[in-house]
Amino acid sequence: MTDTSEPPQPTTVGRRSVLIAAGATAAALSVGATVTLEAPTADMDTENTGPVAAAAVCTLTREMTEGPYYLDGQFVRSNIRENKTGIPFQLTLTVVDDDTCAPLNNALVEIWHADVLGEYSGFVGENGHNEPDNGTFLRGGVLTDSSGIARINTVYPGWYRGRCVHIHLKVHVNVRLTPDGSFTGGRELFTGQLYFAESVTRAVAAIAPYRSNTVPRTTLTQDSIYDGGGAASGLLTLTSLGSSPSAGYAGTLTVGVESS
């Protein structure tokens, strides 16, 4: 079996960008204002009963590697689940300019991630499982609205050898929508990854169908890419959608990018 985990390496990819903690919206910020709050650490758990408090606002951070599983020209759509099993995951990202905190309208927010068994569409088998591969499941993106908000419905990701649970993220501007429902062109502003509190992932990993993934799971603190920076490094604010892990979760974060 091929080991496809990203090796330990510098994660800066050349463009300055920031991640701003969820819970503080662009509307609440004065243009040019400086706000400093305490950022959570990698060891800070997100409880199942509610969101973590807002953290680092307008804090510069490094972008993170896109990894080996990116595919061009994916569909522009708000639901990327297709027929994949897994508990619901509702992702809400707010994209803002890092200098002014103004929301970016009509930016293409693109994500991709592994399924319950740790397999990526277009690369099925890399984590040792045999399943259908159409090259599109759990991939896609949406355009932000006038408030800079992008909402995508998917499933809680699984894991593969050598990496913690995560979602890959790109932000593009000036893309062209194509007749087949995908996109092309434009300019890429940001490449990063989104992360999940270990307490939540531990609860999810214990239920079906996630417990069928027998590949050893790398924790958040063991991961070679996540740098321990909390929300400023992509750690999502997670909120339970029900009274048990099987009900699913909502995840939020505000993503600041250098748009000029």
Place of tokens 């991640």: 19
Give dist(CA 150, CA 144) in Å, integer.
Answer: 5
Neighbours of 212 (CB within 10 A): 11
Give dist(CA 24, CA 54) in Å, integer.
Answer: 6
pLDDT band at 232 (very low <50, low <70, confident <90, very high): confident
Q: Where are the domains of the chain?
A: 41-61+73-138+145-189+197-257
pLDDT digits (tens, 9 = 90+) for 205-217: 999 999 999 999 9
Mean pLDDT of 244-255: 96
Mean pLDDT of 216-234: 93
Q: How far is CA 208 from CA 80, 88, 118, in A?
A: 20, 13, 14
| Mean pLDDT score of the chain | 81
Q: What percent of the chain has pLDDT over 70?
A: 76
Given a cut of 90, is residue 52 above it in pLDDT? Answer: no
Task: Estimate to the nearest angstrom the gap between the alpha carbon of 37 and the chain centroid.
Answer: 22
How much is the pTM?
A: 0.81
- Main-chain phi, psi angles of 231, to 5 degrees: -60, -35
Give dist(CA 142, CA 36) in Å, integer.
Answer: 30
41-61+73-138+145-189+197-257 CATH: 2.60.130.10
pLDDT digits (tens, 9 = 90+) for 15-50: 334 444 333 333 333 333 322 223 333 334 433 334
pLDDT digits (tens, 9 = 90+) for 178-197: 999 999 999 999 999 999 99
CB 198 within 8 A of CB 220: yes
**Quick one: pLDDT at residue 58?**
53
Query: What sign results for the dihedral spanned by CA atoms 169, 25, 51, 39?
Result: positive
